[in-house]
A and B are shown apart, each in its own frame.
Chain A
Amino acid sequence: MDWAFVFSQTLTQALGITAIIYCLAAIGLNLQFGYTGLLNFGVVAFVASGAYAIGVIVLTFELSLWLAIPVAMGVAVLLSLLLGIPTLRLRADYLAIVTIAASELLRLTVRTVLPDYLGGTQGLNGKIGQQFHDLNPLPADFESLPVLTWTRQDLWVVIVGWGLIALFSVLMLLLVRSPWGRVVKGIREDEDAVISLGKNTFAYKMQSLVVGGIIMAFGGILWAVAKQSVQPDTFVPDFTFFVYTILLLGGAARILGPIAGTIIFWFLLAGIGEFLGQAIQAGWIDFLKPTDVGAIRFILMGLGLMMLMIFRPQGIFGDKKELALDAR
């Protein structure tokens, strides 16, 4: 059994591109759900809209990636408005119902409608991120970092990805510590009270949905650029629930919550997978087949999350006293 290999693979995945995509989505959700209390169950729709916007602009219309990025942001804004205008005046649960339905609707639509533009079930595959990868400053003969086994191309995405996470986290910090942040936190606690103090809560909820949506779309942008492929069936509701898991794991309404949650989530998920894979290969475990590992790791992960909810319901960074206030 190669412990060093297990560790290096696990760490590479915990900090890798997929983790970064989830982290960006979780930062967006932290603003919407953690701070504002908006139950957006359509996280994946915002990520998908970002990814598809990039894919369509670059591959279908053969335009520049640098044009595609603002378009992707615009699509996320449009999606927020579309979902928010009819539902944000209603009770919180309506947004949840509408967003989860919309995310599936979006996936099934891009899968079947306009296959010449959207690629149908195959999605869009090609050199989506070429213009980005051309800017790679790493030396051409770059092999790999010690322990972290990214390729030259992946490392460039990882650097930019963590840069984006840092940027958005700082912006979030400024935002939630300002009077604006105070208003959205008030909305989370009791919207009517905030209305009675003369705040236009609808506008604040809309702003929160839009800004969170743009951050999520950056997850999708990175996805399209890094994987050079956008496929409809990767944008399933599971993604949304993993993002919620990450946020609750790290602690909602905490700036570092999404980052800690992402690293722990992917470290455990990848670690369990790598360990089981190696253990089966080494003959330590004979009642499992290597093909079982994918499912087993989610079972163990689920068990771990239940333990977390029982023994540390506030998440890693949460404040238990604060959580207890809710029960009153």
Chain B
Amino acid sequence: MPADHTEELGPQARATQAVLASVERRPGAAKPDPILIADNVKRQFGGLVAVDVEHVQIQRGSITALIGPNGAGKTTFFNLLTGFDAPNTGAWTFNTRQVAGTAPFKLARMGMVRTFQLTKALSRMTVMDNMLLGAKGQIGERFLSSFIAPLWKGQESTNRARAEALLARFNLAEKAGDFAGSLSGGQRKLLEMARALMSGPELVMLDEPMAGVNPALTQSLLQHIKAIREEGTTVLFVEHDMDMVHDISDWVIVMAQGQIIAEGPPDSVMKDQGVIDAYLGAHHDKQLTSTGEALTESPGGSA
């Protein structure tokens, strides 16, 4: 299976995977061309340390998966990086620019656009309006120029054409005039991703893009994510579905209890004993006695 898997890779994917092949497979490994570098990012909620990331780099042009068991701090880490939450300590750079403490809307303008775990489709607006909201630098969004339509009509129709093209790619073209609230859960995920792409971001951060999406739609979402990367956008995503992670990511970062515990290409990470233990518990393959204690001898081989 890995053989036919490589054949469908685009040039960008092949190049990225070749570069990443020589990267060390340990937490905090240095990448040849990082778009994002984070240092000592720590977030505490009372006594609970939700995120404590010592060092991490995200390779430009890659599809990087951020995985880990529930409560590992993945979404909190996303929130911190995108400015939606403030860390107790820590610094990170985006395109070599120091961006810790930057307002989230400014980060989005710099080209770091995120989506949300619980989709935020703007329900009582049309799908097209949702898309148009994603476009950057709109003249008509300034208060005074909004009154004078000729100032922004041209830009608006350019944006509209772009939005139509993106909607067509995401199979939402015929929904353009419908309220976003009338879309199904999966379609909302698609809309949110398409909307994030309207601004032409350099780094897209997708928080569980596949959650609640049916398998047929999952395949098309995967193709979209691969296509985005071929256009030069870096993708960082949080996901629970291991098959999907295995299928599309070039690099996997594993978090558990707020820390990064492993890094590497999907094949090697998924064989890592530490990762398996973090996901399933150290005694997952041992039978339990009636008192709840693990037996010392394991039936073996089931992992």
Q: A residues engaging B (CB < 8 A)?
A: 171, 174-175, 178-183, 185-186, 188-190, 192-201, 207, 211, 321-322, 325-326, 328
Q: Which B residues touch A201, using CB under 8 A? A: 105
Q: Which A residues touch B141, using CB under 8 A? A: 178-180, 182-183, 199
A197/B134 contact (C-beta < 8 A), A171-B147, A321-B179 known: yes
Give min CB distance, A326 to chain B, whole Å. 7
Closest 6 CB pairs of A and B: A325-B181, A179-B140, A180-B146, A198-B108, A193-B120, A178-B146
Q: Which B residues touch A198, using CB under 8 A? A: 105-106, 108-109, 113, 136, 199
Q: Which B residues touch A183, using CB under 8 A? A: 133, 141
Task: Return the CB mask of B7-40 against A: 1 if under 8 Å, else 0.
Answer: 0000000000000000000000000000000000
Kindly name the residue among B106, B122, B132 whose own CB sees the greatest number of chain A CB atoms within 10 A: B122
Q: State A174–B148 Cα separation when bound (angstroms).
A: 8
Q: State A178–B156 Cα separation when bound (angstroms).
A: 10
B interface residue count range (under 10 / 10 to 19 / 20 to 34 / 35 or more) = 35 or more
Q: Which B residues touch A326, using CB under 8 A? A: 123-124, 181
Q: Which residue of B lies closest to A183 (CB)?
A: B141
Q: Which A residues touch B108, using CB under 8 A? A: 195-198
Q: Which of A174, A182, A195, A196 contacts B125 (CB 8 A)?
A: A182
Q: State A179–B122 Cα separation when bound (angstroms).
A: 15
Q: State A199–B198 Cα separation when bound (angstroms).
A: 13
Q: Which of B106, B120, B132, B199 contacts A192 (CB 8 A)?
A: B120
A195 and B105 form a contact (CB under 8 A)? yes
Q: Which A residues touch B121, using CB under 8 A? A: 193
A182 and B104 form a contact (CB under 8 A)? no
A186/B125 contact (C-beta < 8 A), A192-B120, A198-B113, A322-B179 known: yes
B120 and A178 form a contact (CB under 8 A)? no
A175 and B146 form a contact (CB under 8 A)? yes
A186 and B122 form a contact (CB under 8 A)? yes
A179 and B125 form a contact (CB under 8 A)? no
Q: State A181–B147 Cα separation when bound (angstroms).
A: 10
Question: B259 at interface (Cβ–Cβ under 8 A)?
Answer: no
Q: Which B residues touch A194, using CB under 8 A? A: 122, 133
A179 and B104 form a contact (CB under 8 A)? no
Question: B170 at interface (Cβ–Cβ under 8 A)?
Answer: no
A195 and B104 form a contact (CB under 8 A)? yes
Q: State A198–B113 Cα separation when bound (angstroms).
A: 8
B113 and A196 form a contact (CB under 8 A)? yes
Q: Which of A171, A185, A197 contacts B113 (CB 8 A)?
A: A197
A174/B146 contact (C-beta < 8 A), A185-B125, A198-B113 known: yes
Q: State A318–B236 Cα separation when bound (angstroms).
A: 41
Count: A-B pairs, CB below 8 Å: 109
A-B contact pairs, 20 of them (CB 8 A): A175-B147, A179-B152, A182-B133, A186-B122, A186-B130, A190-B120, A192-B84, A193-B120, A194-B133, A195-B84, A195-B104, A197-B108, A197-B199, A198-B108, A198-B109, A198-B199, A211-B143, A325-B123, A326-B123, A328-B123
Question: B116 at interface (Cβ–Cβ under 8 A)?
Answer: yes
B114 and A196 form a contact (CB under 8 A)? yes
A196 and B104 form a contact (CB under 8 A)? yes
Q: Which residue of B lies closest to A323 (CB)?
A: B124
A189/B143 contact (C-beta < 8 A), A198-B109, A325-B182 known: no
Tell me which residues from 192 to 215 in chain B have a Cβ below 8 Å from any Cβ of chain A: 192, 195-196, 198-199
B140 and A189 form a contact (CB under 8 A)? no
Q: Which of A175, A178, A189, A195 contacts B123 (CB 8 A)?
A: A189
Q: State A33–B191 Cα separation when bound (angstroms).
A: 26
A200 and B133 form a contact (CB under 8 A)? no
Q: Which A residues touch B138, using CB under 8 A? A: 179
Question: B115 at interface (Cβ–Cβ under 8 A)?
Answer: yes
A196 and B82 form a contact (CB under 8 A)? yes
Q: State A161–B195 Cα separation when bound (angstroms).
A: 43
Q: Which residue of B lies closest to A253 (CB)?
A: B124
Q: Which B residues touch A189, using CB under 8 A? A: 122-125
Q: Which of B109, B124, B136 contacts A322 (CB 8 A)?
A: B124
Question: B142 at interface (Cβ–Cβ under 8 A)?
Answer: yes
Q: Which of A171, A175, A181, A197 contacts B195 (CB 8 A)?
A: A197
A193/B116 contact (C-beta < 8 A), A185-B125, A198-B105 known: yes
Tell me which residues from 159 to 182 in chain B have a Cβ below 8 Å from any Cβ of chain A: 179, 181-182
Q: Which residue of A lies closest to B108 (CB)?
A: A198
Q: State A286–B241 Cα separation when bound (angstroms).
A: 76
Q: Which A residues touch B136, using CB under 8 A? A: 198
Question: B230 at interface (Cβ–Cβ under 8 A)?
Answer: no
Give min CB distance, B293 to chain A, whole Å. 46
Q: Which B residues touch A192, using CB under 8 A? A: 84, 116, 120
A190 and B122 form a contact (CB under 8 A)? yes
